[in-house]
Every structure is written in structure tokens, then in C-alpha cells.
A = this chain, B = another copy of it.
Amino acid sequence: MTPTESAPLTTDFFDPDCPVRTIPVLGGRKWAWKIMRCLEGGPRRFSELRVPLVGITAKVLAESLRAMESEGAVVRTEYDEHPPRVEYALTPLGRTLLGPMDAVCAWSRQNLAGLLEAREAYERDEAGRAVGAR
């Protein structure tokens, strides 16, 4: 129910009109995976997040958190204190994403050696090709 519009409700990634154009929450955002990981253990303050996220700027962190909030994966709670305190946490929805993420992360960890080897082999072949083409 709640038929607001004729929303197709598809996740067919091959449909150019898919309402979720790329992978939700994680797609097209460099820091999203790491931010999810940082919130895994419980609510964190803005400045707490900046510590493990080495190199992120306040601007990018704020933008990322807002985007993830808009997708329902993160909730922002502002406390009326001085100095101000704001906490970010995973929503129940966001938390359900941790499992699928783990699958990909585990794969990366387990196959890192193979990935590095592939890269080396590829670069070796590239060099060989370049020499052969002389």
C-alpha cells in the first residue's frame, strides 16, 4: 500500500531508469565504506570520526554523512549543549548493510595476494608489449 506514485520498485541495475541508480549508500562515495565501519561499534561524534578517517576533510565528512542520512543508513542526533555535541549512528536499516559489506571486505582480505599478483603480472605484460613493439 501507500501508493504514492507509479514507482517501479526495481533494483535492476541494468535499468537506466532504476530509482536507485548506483549501489545505495555505498556507491559513488569514496568514504562510505569506512564511515560505516567507524559507526559499527556505536554512536560517534563528528570529531571522533575524523580520527580513524585519516585524511578526510570536515567538508567531505559532513557531505558524506548527510547523504547517508538521506538514504536512511545513518541518523544524526544533535544535543543542546555547550559546546555543541552531535552524534552519528547507524540506523537499524544501516546496520543490516554491515553483513553484505563484510562479505565484500572478507573477499578483499582473502584475495589481496592474488590481486597484487595479478596487477604485477599485468604490468609485466604491458612492459613486454612495449618492448616488443619497439
Contacts and interface: CB of A to CB of B under 8 A. Distances in A.
Nearest to A7: B116
A34 B14 contact: yes
A112 interface: yes
A14 B54 contact: yes
A111 interface: yes
A106 B4 CA distance: 24
A28 to B, nearest CB: 7
A105 interface: yes
A127 interface: no
A113 interface: yes
B24 A72 contact: no
Contact of A113 (B9, B53, B120): B9
Interface string A1-34: 0001001011101101001101111101010011
